[in-house]
Amino acid sequence: MATEREIAVDYLARVEGEGAMYLKLDGEEVLDLQFKIFEPPRFFEAFLRGRRFEEAPDITARICGICPVAYQTSACNAMEHAAGVMVDDQIQRLRRMLYCGEWIESHALHIYFLHAPDFLGYDSAIEMARDHRTVVERGLRLRQAGTD
């Protein structure tokens, strides 16, 4: 006879923002599964009030330590739009290249240093390096390729 049980995980590590999970089982059957990732408001907009407009790219870059380019580029785009400025294709391509470098760096970080240890049964990439040094070194090289 199957018995119903509920599992609630109020805090999930290694997710962007804050995460939680709720699972309801009847024996082996999943009755309900809710996976929630949410980013609480941090009110970064308030940091820009009273500041000079040219400070926006540097201030917004601090919103995320992993993806500052996305915020810097967005701030530049917003200022250009507000001023009616059209940047040329070369600038657009340079921004795109910078943004793609950030993607490479960010994805390498997530795959090799956040996900791989979990998938392979380790608590951290440092612990994983004892048995899989070449994998960790490859992740470091790939991450560096995104920033070079």
CA 79 to chain centre: 24
What pLDDT, on the 0 to 100 scale, is given for residue 124? 93
Per-residue DSSP letter, 27: T
Chain-centre distance for alpha carbon 124: 18
110, 70 Cβ separation under 8 angstroms:
no
pLDDT at 125: 94
Match 């949410």 to its residue by tokens.
38
Positions in the chain short of pLDDT 70: 1-2
| Model pLDDT for residues 114-126, shown as the tens digit of each residue | 899 999 999 999 9
pLDDT at position 127, please?
97
Judge contact between 74 and 53, C-beta under 8 A: no
User: CB 130: neighbour CB atoms within 10 A?
Assistant: 9
SS3 for 32? strand
In angstroms, the Cα distances linking 94 to 88, 97, 102, 112 are: 10, 5, 13, 27
**Chain-centroid distance, C-alpha 22:** 23
C-alpha to C-alpha distance for 79 and 89, rounded to whole angstroms: 17
